[in-house]
Chains A and B, each alone.
Chain A
Amino acid sequence: MAVESAAHESIPELPNLITVLHQRWPDVPVVAWLHHWENLVFGLLVAGVLCALAWRYARKPATVPSVGQNVFEVLVEGVDRFVCGIVGPAGRRHTPFIGTLFLYIWLMNLAALLPGVKSPTSSLNTTVSLAVVVFGYVQWVGIHANGPVKYLDHLAGSPRDPVGWALVPLMLPIHVLGEFIKPLSLSLRLGFNVFAEDVLLAVLVGLGLTAGLALHAPVGLPLQAFVVPLVLIFSTVQALVFSLLSTVYIALMSPHGGGEHGGSLH
């Protein structure tokens, strides 16, 4: 227990509004509840910002677009081309899912750059929840596009002879596990990368404070500013990787040739 606590305490973490509140009033139930659900709270905050922007700029597109609508159009068209480029013409119906996934992860990754805000994606609870959603979505696409029989046939290892049927009890859990491990690996990659970024920022902020104290400066040195561009790039790359591989999983589950119920599973 002591080792666990020491390990927990040894990982630097930037304080956010909720942790500050929790340190100030640890016994207030609302603050304790917020502290327990801080990843969800910041995730909902990002979702609220996205919804507000969508409501403001994209709900009723004008013939002559405003700047905000232009930004949305560029994003939407870019994601649509991205998805359709991988899945094919039938990928249009997956564009909202992948696009929302990308924007949500991207903004959550970047949230750590705002003072007092935490990246919800630095918690595996957030990224694993996204992996669960991607897993469910991909399986739904597989069932919807191929039919339940063909989908189950794929999960059972496509048995065509007695040996194949005998291996079904083994192949079925392996395939199901494999389907879940694919998005789970994405979530682990995303979570640990963003967590590492946050730790790096926290370490540099700590170093800056120490250096400021050593130099008798009124404030700490902003050493974290040097890694902000890296955080911007890595946050975008991680969101792109998660979205790209999710799209690839959808494409792998979709039938060949882009037609519904007409192809075979990978």
Chain B
Amino acid sequence: MPSILQLDLQQILSQAISFLLLWWAMKRFAWRPILGALDARRARIEDDLRAAAQAKADMARLEQELAQRLAAIDEEARGKLQEAIREGKQVAIEIQEEARAQAHAVLAKAQETIAMELAKAKVTLRDELADLTVKALERILKDKLDLKADHKLVGAILDELGTSPSTERVFSSPTP
């Protein structure tokens, strides 16, 4: 009988046992560790992919929120700008009004000052006229001149009076 057909129970059993031992060793030192590592790696990759998808969704949501906030900020800035323009215009109007009021006040004060100065000048003129009249009367009374001489004297006084600077100023200034 060819050797291949010679079955030996001892050899069959011993080889079966050797295979069982090999199975145990391979299961312990190869299959379990590698399958565990592959499962762990697969789980880790799935977790990472899930986290990446979550991060991507979060990023999209944040981008949307940012765009909304930027739009709100833009709108708020535009509103504040419009309000500032309005306030500026209001301030300008108020400044104009105030300046106008101040100008009116200054003008009124100037007119009042002018009126006071004019009144003061009139008083001064009247006093000077009175002084001159008194001086003229004193000279008339002192000299006891005749009528002709009196006229001449009065005319001289009046001429003198007309050449006086204060008198010229009084008569040449316009009436307020």
Contacts and interface: CB of A to CB of B under 8 A. Distances in A.
Interface of A: 4, 7-8, 11, 37, 39-40, 43-44, 47, 50-51, 54-55, 58-61, 69, 72-73, 76-77, 80, 92, 95-97, 99-101, 103-104, 120, 122-126, 128-130, 132-133, 191-192, 195
B154 to A, nearest CB: 135
Give chain B's interface secondary structure class.
helix
Interface of B: 1-8, 11-16, 18-23, 25-27, 29-38
Contact of B8 (A60, A80, A125): A125
A76 B4 contact: no
A188 to B, nearest CB: 10
B15 A40 contact: yes
A15 B18 CA distance: 24
27 contacts: A7-B2, A8-B2, A37-B11, A47-B19, A47-B25, A54-B30, A58-B29, A59-B33, A61-B34, A72-B34, A73-B37, A76-B31, A95-B31, A96-B26, A96-B27, A97-B27, A99-B31, A100-B19, A120-B15, A124-B5, A125-B8, A125-B15, A128-B7, A129-B11, A130-B19, A133-B19, A191-B4
Given A37-B14, A80-B35, A192-B4, 8 more contacts: A50-B26, A59-B33, A76-B30, A80-B38, A123-B11, A126-B15, A130-B16, A133-B20
A43 B18 contact: yes
Contacts, number: 124
Q: 4 closest Cβ contacts across the A-B interface?
A: A61-B37, A54-B30, A129-B15, A96-B31
Given A7-B2, A51-B25, A97-B23, A58 B33 contact: yes
A126 B37 CA distance: 33
A157 B116 CA distance: 143
A21 to B, nearest CB: 17
Given A125-B11, A129-B15, A95 B35 contact: yes
Nearest to B13: A129
Contacts of A129: 11-16, 19
A7 B5 CA distance: 12
Contacts of A58: 29-30, 33-34
A72 B18 contact: no
A76 B1 contact: no
B2 A11 contact: yes
A197 to B, nearest CB: 12
Contacts of B25: 47, 51, 54
A49 B164 CA distance: 146
A39 B30 contact: no
B30 A72 contact: yes
Contacts of A97: 23, 27
Q: Which of B12, B21, B23, B34 has the most chain A CB within a 10 Å cutoff?
A: B34
Given A99-B31, A125-B8, A104 B19 contact: yes
B31 A100 contact: yes
Given A54-B29, A54-B30, A122 B4 contact: yes
Contacts of A60: 33
A100 B22 contact: yes
A124 B34 CA distance: 32
Count chain B CB atoms within 10 A of each CB in A11, A51, A103 and give the residue with the most.
A51
Contacts of A47: 18-19, 21-22, 25
Q: Which of B11, B21, B23, B36 counts the most chain A CB atoms within 10 A?
A: B11
